Amino acid sequence: MTLDVSALDRPVQPGQFFHIRCSDNWKHPLRRPLSVYNYDHESHCLEFLYLVKGNGTQQMTLMRKGDTLSLLGPLGHGFTLPDQGALLLIARGVGVATLHALARQARSENMEVHVIMSARTPGDLLTVDTLSRLGATVYTVTDQEGTSSVESVRALSETLICEEGISAIYTCGSSRLGKLVQELAETYHLKGELATEAHMACGIGDCYACACTIRKGNQLKTVRVCTEGPVFPISQAVLQ
């Protein structure tokens, strides 16, 4: 979904999200969070990439060119880039929507970007061409081809870490991949960040619908994904 957001007067960071009113229908009063997929501040063009899950996202598919949409954002804390070195992004399915803007920003600063993209089937792999056009190197793995197990992704990641000067590693969503990224960041002393997902109501810190647990030092702490996140240092993630 592509929007003209000329009225937006603040910068948008990769990993931040917008809280979207999916329809004017009173049956859908709660907004839905979507990450920034792409933002071009010169053309004021904001893009989202979303999977149709339930009522809210279904309603969004009914919008047509010229319609207007109520957006709250940009919200939350986004990703931070390393001072130097290459980035490794590990995405599963539509999770690539969240990491795409990060790849774009890193490439605009001439940083090398490697993306491991995982999906159920080759047909489910998203944005491979767009990422390649940005200059990222994309490696695809799928369940159908038997290449997407955690062990296969670990082996590929370790090769890239050792051979491509990776200094930072990023992922989102999947706790399987989150745990892997946590282990890799610890073992290889990499900067690591995870974009988390949670069900949200207000999106601005007032309701605690999105509360999750993170680890700070030896302590567990309850935080709100919408305000303290959605991006957290991977070392703080408590993954089930």
Ligand X SMILES: Cc1cc2nc3c(=O)[nH]c(=O)nc-3n(C[C@H](O)[C@H](O)[C@H](O)COP(=O)(O)OP(=O)(O)OC[C@H]3O[C@@H](n4cnc5c(N)ncnc54)[C@H](O)[C@@H]3O)c2cc1C
Binding site for ligand FES (CB under 6 A): 200-203, 205-210, 224, 226
Rounded CA gap, 87 and 158, in Å? 13
Q: Which amino acid is at 184?
A: L
Nearest CB to ligand FES, comparing residues 200 and 231: 200
**Please, which residue, 79 or 166, has the CB nearer to ligand X?**
79
From the list ligand X, ligand FES, none, partner contacted by residue 232 (C-beta under 5 to 8 A by kind): none
Task: Indicate the residue among 29 and 217 with the shorter CB distance to ligand X.
Answer: 29
In the bound complex, what is the minimum distance in angstroms from residue 15's beta carbon to ligand X? 9
Does residue number 18 form part of the binding site for ligand X (CB under 6 A)?
Answer: no
Report if residue 79 touches ligand X, rule: CB under 6 A. no
Q: State in angstroms the smallest separation of the CB of 58 from ligand FES.
A: 21
53 binds ligand X (CB under 6 A): yes
Considering the complex, state which of residue 93 and residue 205 has its C-beta at the smaller distance from ligand FES: 205
Least distance in Å: CB of 198 to ligand FES?
A: 7
201 binds, among ligand X, ligand FES, none (CB under 5 to 8 A by kind): ligand FES
Is there binding between residue 54 and ligand X (CB under 6 A)? Answer: yes
Q: Please, what sign has the CA dihedral across residues 160, 177, 120, 98?
A: negative
CA pair distance 176, 174, nearest whole angstrom: 5
- Choose among ligand X, ligand FES, none what residue 98 binds, the Cβ cut-off being 5 to 8 Å by kind: ligand X
A 10 A CB-CB count for 220 gives 10
Residues 192-221 that bind ligand X (CB under 6 A): 197-200
Grouping H, G, I as helix, E, B as strand and the rest as coil, residue 208 is coil
* Torsion of the alpha carbons at 113, 114, 118 and 124, rounded to the nearest 10: 60
Q: Which residues pair with 116 in a beta bridge?
A: 90, 139
Q: Which residues contact 151 (CB under 8 A, 6 or more apart)?
A: none
* Closest distance of CB 154 from ligand X, Å: 25
Q: Which stretch binds ligand X (CB under 6 A): 32-40, 66-74, 139-147, 158-166?
A: 32-40
Q: Which two tokens stand for residue 169?
A: 């590693």
Exposure of 203 in the CB half-sphere (CA atoms within 13 A): 17
Rounded to the nearest 10 degrees, the angle between the axes of helix 175-188 and helix 150-163 is: 30
Give the chain's count of helices (H) and strands (E). Answer: 5, 14
**Cα separation values, 128 from 90, 188, 199, Å:** 13, 27, 28
Q: Does 175 bind ligand X (CB under 6 A)?
A: no
Contacts with ligand X by CB under 6 A lie at 17, 32-35, 48-51, 53-57, 94, 97-98, 197-200, 230
